[in-house]
Chain A
Amino acid sequence: MTRYISKRLLAMLPVLFLVSFVVFMLLHLTPGDPALIMLGEEATPQNLAALRHELGLDQPLPLQFLSWMEHIVRGDLGRSIRTHQQVLEAIVERLPVTIELTALAMLISLFIALPTGIISATRRNSFLDLFSTTGALLGISMPNFFLAILLIFIFAVTLRWLPPIGYTPIQKDLLENIRGMILPAITLGAAASAIVARLTRSSLLEVLSQDYVRTAQAKGLAERTIIYTHALKNAMIPVVTIIGLQIGALIGGAVITETIFVLPGVGSLVVDSIFRRDYPLVQGAVLFISIAHLFVNLVVDILYAFLDPRIRYA
């Protein structure tokens, strides 16, 4: 297992290199000049040229990339060209918000998805099944910015139960922190819960039609025992895969959710930095998100072995 993990970790390196390269190229090929955005329309050509030189933007692209990589290897993600803050510091400062949001969103989505998926699989074609599959379809189809505004309108503006925006650090006020996180977490978790619910349903249905389940039923085992002890564990393998993928998607989805709900997380940092062409910040943050993605995938692969003892890693 240790060998497998180290192999996987090593395999991450080329992936990270490729991701960095693609992000770097896309960003630099996008029209828009950081120097011009920083100095504004009234900037003189001399000042623009001087700033581009200072930021190293007058160097050929491959050289810029190599210089960035060289710094990365030394653990230096550089400084924001706008605020002069260390990129790593900016990301670490915002990390707790994104982790909390993603975790809560995942929790909410599982809280909704697993029972819904199980109910609609065990009561196939019933009204409940129809209701939950329709709900899942709605959850997948509804863009999260729309859901966000809808939730704000209902829970913040009309009912005035929850605040529409803002973030309170956990250490400052736990209750306020949770109150501020409920709407963003539901917004972010909705689509994921719909996907997981659908997959749980189909996966469980497939398992329930297998011979060993029929045998169990013939033995006269209680339905509850059959579902929870025998069927569910096997049905969970594809579900765990999709949950893993969803965590990645949630980190990406946090970009929009954080912006709407004014949460100071990594997602809103990325959006803001893209608009300002703050190259070091965007590159650093995307690199971080990619690493998070890869780690989640690794954890999912390791989890397979626990769910299905037949899977062995050599």
Chain B
Amino acid sequence: MKRYSWLAVLIIAIIVLVAACAPAPTAVPVSPTNPPAAPQPPPATKAPAITRGGIMRYGLDSDLTTMDPHMSTAAVDRRVYQSIYNPLVRLDKDLTLKPELAEKFEFTDPTTLVLTLRKGVKFQDGTDFNAKAVKINFDRMLNPDTKSPRASDIATVKEATVVDDYTVKITLKNPDAALLAQLSDRAGMIISPAAIDKYGKDLARNPVGTGPFKFVEWVTGDHLSVTKFDGYWEKGEDGQALPYLDGVNYKPVTDATVRLSSLKTNTLDFLQAIAAKDVDAMRKQKEFVYSEVADLGYQGYSLNNKKPPFDKLEARQAFSMAIDRDSLVKDVLFGTGTAGQGPIAPNSWAYDASVNLFKRDTAAAKALLQKAGFTLPVKFSCYVTNSPDGIVFGQAVKDQLAEAGFQMDIELLEFGTALAKYNNFEHTCFQVGWSGRPDPDGNTYGFLHSKGGLNRDQYANAKVDEALDKARAVYDQAERKKLYTDALKLAVNEVAIVYLYWPLNVKVYSPRVNNYVHVPDGMDRFKSVWLAKGTQ
């Protein structure tokens, strides 16, 4: 043994030596102006002295796919777009729409939207931002050759015309009250026309927008970095151009445990999301800022209305009755959601509590199934995507359904596979959600209208169609709210989809991060965020 003990000593010595060369152990330092905040809500922006500089290290939950917003489908990409691009209109934290690249937006008649553009804005490549640039962007999305997934967001747009250098007229095929909200997201993000010409498809890796940060490099799977754009148009509280930060380094860390460890070890400053299992602990701790807001989306079960057993209304209603939504939210999701029914979350102006129609009643659910001629247990198979949180949730639902006379077999599928099957209407049941859109139309029309592009459950009710069509054609909010409530009372009662809860959007970040505004769409905008000095 003695002979080899030097080996063990050597190994330990090497590890200790390399470790000792590390920066001193990094207990997360706290700026004197901003003591560790209580877990929620995020700290009020009282801190007087804004510090400029520093790189924000941001943990994404998956790798990025494309930096071309018109070609994007992955939510993860949208987080980076907030730095590189500006949308025409901005979604505020109270879900109202505010001017961004369009200083003014007005429907002069139900099918004409006039956008008055901001002057003095430049793209990061030096190109001027003007009406022509906006038209080129609209034309690009609408051109079938582009095959833009965002074309569906602006499907009602007939054409965009240049009125003068800073005025664009958008002519619609038919009235669309939801269009403005779409322009706060990818469809409204304006890309440099010079970059569109120069890069073509390679724009996916060479983005150029008008946003506060310009693209530096993207090493797939490792990081994407952006740096401060010196010519940015917006001014900060100190009277100088935004942004306050020198840059942002986006890092994909797919494993939720590793992501959280990276925050704890000061390797990252800001996490896009954390796992449900970690929520409780993060709420209780004082070392980091924990922030949660109601999200725009919903989660539930998609039941194929044309396939047994859910081609029968009674089976769908029994499913909805079998679920104890409160218990799922409390026990499985650790309170990271609000139990309820319907696609419109309580934070929306269109929300109406009267659409919460079903209460848990397993005896009534069983009776309903038997009355409809089913032999208990009613067996069916349900797609569940293969993620730790998804599996736990699916098992809890399975148990609750068993008490009401169902036998749900969980079919674990990787997301790409499930999506392909779902798109071909192969599913009987699919545990799925929707990330949500700021306008209620984005959470309803596609799924509940018989001609909706996302209606994979093949639900059809002429009255629902009529109400949803009307809600697109009127611009008065109160009137629209009534129409959505009418439509949802029918759709929730007929269980077009089993709505279970509205998720909360959770962020955890270092107390050095100041001035962060948590918007319900869950996108992180860093133009006016600053980092307290002292680490990295």
Does B265 make an interface contact (CB < 8 A)? Answer: yes
Assembled-state Cα–Cα distance A24/B153 (Å): 35
Contacts of A84 in B (CB 8 A): 201-202, 204-205
A 135-171 binary contact with B (CB < 8 Å = 1; else 0): 0000000000000010011011101111111110000
CB contact between B267 and one of A82, A112, A159, A163 (< 8 Å): that residue: A163
Assembled-state Cα–Cα distance A68/B66 (Å): 24
A 43-63 binary contact with B (CB < 8 Å = 1; else 0): 110110011001000000000
Q: How far is the CB of B7 from chain A (nearest CB, A)?
A: 5
Contacts of A155 in B (CB 8 A): 19
Are B253 and A165 closer than 8 Å at their CB atoms? Answer: yes
Does B173 make an interface contact (CB < 8 A)? Answer: no
CB contact between A43 and one of B4, B149, B220, B221 (< 8 Å): that residue: B149
Does A134 make an interface contact (CB < 8 A)? Answer: no
Q: How far is the CB of A67 from chain B (nearest CB, A)?
A: 20
Are B205 and A85 closer than 8 Å at their CB atoms? Answer: yes
Contacts of B255 in A (CB 8 A): 149, 259-260
Assembled-state Cα–Cα distance A162/B11 (Å): 15
Are A153 and B220 closer than 8 Å at their CB atoms? Answer: no
Contacts of A162 in B (CB 8 A): 18-19, 22
Chain B residues numbered 180-236 whose CB sits less than 8 Å from any CB in chain A = 201-202, 204-205, 219-222
Does A37 make an interface contact (CB < 8 A)? Answer: yes
Are A269 and B19 closer than 8 Å at their CB atoms? Answer: no
Contacts of A32 in B (CB 8 A): 414, 416-417, 419-420
Does B477 make an interface contact (CB < 8 A)? Answer: no
Assembled-state Cα–Cα distance A17/B204 (Å): 33
Does B258 make an interface contact (CB < 8 A)? Answer: yes
A 165-185 binary contact with B (CB < 8 Å = 1; else 0): 111000000010011001000
- Which of A197-205, A270-278, A291-299 is the contact stretch? A270-278
Are B420 and A50 closer than 8 Å at their CB atoms? Answer: no
B 410-443 binary contact with A (CB < 8 Å = 1; else 0): 0000111101111100000000000000000000
Does B126 make an interface contact (CB < 8 A)? Answer: no
Chain B residues numbered 145-204 whose CB sits less than 8 Å from any CB in chain A = 147, 149, 151-153, 201-202, 204
Does B454 make an interface contact (CB < 8 A)? Answer: yes
Total contacting residues, chain A, CB less than 8 A: 62
Does A238 make an interface contact (CB < 8 A)? Answer: no
Contacts of B267 in A (CB 8 A): 163-166
Contacts of B152 in A (CB 8 A): 42-44
B 11-30 binary contact with A (CB < 8 Å = 1; else 0): 10001101101100110000
Are A275 and B22 closer than 8 Å at their CB atoms? Answer: no
Are A40 and B73 closer than 8 Å at their CB atoms? Answer: yes
- Give the residue name and chain of the A residue nearest to B64 (CB): A83
CB contact between A272 and one of B25, B151, B221, B446 (< 8 Å): that residue: B221
Are A156 and B18 closer than 8 Å at their CB atoms? Answer: no
Contacts of A175 in B (CB 8 A): 18, 21
Are B205 and A275 closer than 8 Å at their CB atoms? Answer: no
Assembled-state Cα–Cα distance A272/B222 (Å): 12
Contacts of A157 in B (CB 8 A): 261, 264-265
Does A252 make an interface contact (CB < 8 A)? Answer: no
Are B251 and A83 closer than 8 Å at their CB atoms? Answer: no
Assembled-state Cα–Cα distance A50/B147 (Å): 8
Does B390 make an interface contact (CB < 8 A)? Answer: no
Are B417 and A30 closer than 8 Å at their CB atoms? Answer: yes
Assembled-state Cα–Cα distance A94/B414 (Å): 25
Chain A residues numbered 1-56 whose CB sits less than 8 Å from any CB in chain B = 30-33, 36-44, 46-47, 50-51, 54
Are A166 and B251 closer than 8 Å at their CB atoms? Answer: yes
Q: How far is the CB of A123 from chain B (nearest CB, A)?
A: 8
Are B222 and A167 closer than 8 Å at their CB atoms? Answer: yes
B 391-422 binary contact with A (CB < 8 Å = 1; else 0): 00000000000000000000000111101111
Are A179 and B222 closer than 8 Å at their CB atoms? Answer: no
Contacts of B201 in A (CB 8 A): 84
Are A152 and B261 closer than 8 Å at their CB atoms? Answer: yes
B 131-146 binary contact with A (CB < 8 Å = 1; else 0): 0000000000000100
- Give the residue name and chain of the A residue nearest to B4 (CB): A115
Does B257 make an interface contact (CB < 8 A)? Answer: yes
**Interface residue tally of chain B, by bracket?**
35 or more
Q: How far is the CB of B251 from chain A (nearest CB, A)?
A: 7
Are A264 and B219 closer than 8 Å at their CB atoms? Answer: yes
Contacts of B421 in A (CB 8 A): 31
Does A109 make an interface contact (CB < 8 A)? Answer: no
Contacts of A259 in B (CB 8 A): 254-255
Are A164 and B417 closer than 8 Å at their CB atoms? Answer: no
Q: How far is the CB of B8 from chain A (nearest CB, A)?
A: 9
Contacts of A212 in B (CB 8 A): none
CB contact between B73 and one of A39, A161, A163, A264 (< 8 Å): that residue: A39
Are B262 and A164 closer than 8 Å at their CB atoms? Answer: yes
Assembled-state Cα–Cα distance A161/B24 (Å): 9
Are B15 and A182 closer than 8 Å at their CB atoms? Answer: yes
Q: Give the residue among B26, B73, B204, B222 with the most A Cβ atoms within 10 A.
A: B222
Assembled-state Cα–Cα distance A138/B420 (Å): 41
Does B453 make an interface contact (CB < 8 A)? Answer: yes
Chain B residues numbered 275-326 whose CB sits less than 8 Å from any CB in chain A = none
- Give the residue name and chain of the B residue nearest to A153 (CB): B261
Chain A residues numbered 241-274 whose CB sits less than 8 Å from any CB in chain B = 259-264, 268-269, 272
Does B31 make an interface contact (CB < 8 A)? Answer: no
Does B348 make an interface contact (CB < 8 A)? Answer: no
Q: How far is the CB of A120 from chain B (nearest CB, A)?
A: 11
Are B416 and A37 closer than 8 Å at their CB atoms? Answer: yes
- Give the residue name and chain of the B residue nearest to A46 (CB): B144
Are B147 and A164 closer than 8 Å at their CB atoms? Answer: no
Q: Take A83-B65, A276-B65 as given contacts and tell me if A111 and B11 are in contact as well, using a CB distance cutoff of 8 Å.
A: yes
Does B247 make an interface contact (CB < 8 A)? Answer: no
Are A128 and B1 closer than 8 Å at their CB atoms? Answer: yes
Assembled-state Cα–Cα distance A40/B453 (Å): 12
Are B220 and A47 closer than 8 Å at their CB atoms? Answer: no
Are A165 and B423 closer than 8 Å at their CB atoms? Answer: no
Q: How far is the CB of B259 from chain A (nearest CB, A)?
A: 8
CB contact between B221 and one of A42, A128, A264 (< 8 Å): that residue: A264
Are A179 and B220 closer than 8 Å at their CB atoms? Answer: no
Does A90 make an interface contact (CB < 8 A)? Answer: yes
Assembled-state Cα–Cα distance A143/B153 (Å): 45
Does A103 make an interface contact (CB < 8 A)? Answer: no
Q: Give the residue among A42, A182, A277 with the most B Cβ atoms within 10 A.
A: A42
Does A119 make an interface contact (CB < 8 A)? Answer: yes
- Give the residue name and chain of the A residue nearest to B218 (CB): A83
Contacts of A85 in B (CB 8 A): 205, 220
Are A164 and B265 closer than 8 Å at their CB atoms? Answer: yes
Assembled-state Cα–Cα distance A84/B7 (Å): 49
Q: Take A36-B420, A44-B152, A164-B267 as given contacts and tell me if A152 and B258 are in contact as well, using a CB distance cutoff of 8 Å.
A: yes
Does A93 make an interface contact (CB < 8 A)? Answer: yes
Instruction: Please give me the 8 A-B residue pairs with the lowest Cβ-Cβ distance, nearest first.
Output: A40-B73, A161-B19, A264-B222, A32-B416, A31-B417, A264-B221, A160-B25, A164-B261
Ordered by A's residue number, 18 sampled pairs between the chains whose C-beta atoms are within 8 Å are A31-B416, A36-B419, A40-B149, A41-B73, A42-B152, A42-B453, A82-B66, A85-B205, A93-B219, A115-B4, A119-B1, A161-B22, A163-B265, A165-B253, A260-B255, A262-B252, A264-B219, A275-B415
Chain B positions within 8 Å of A, measured between CB atoms, are 1, 4, 7, 11, 15-16, 18-19, 21-22, 25-26, 63, 65-66, 73-74, 144, 147, 149, 151-153, 201-202, 204-205, 219-222, 251-255, 257-258, 261-262, 264-265, 267, 414-417, 419-423, 446, 453-454
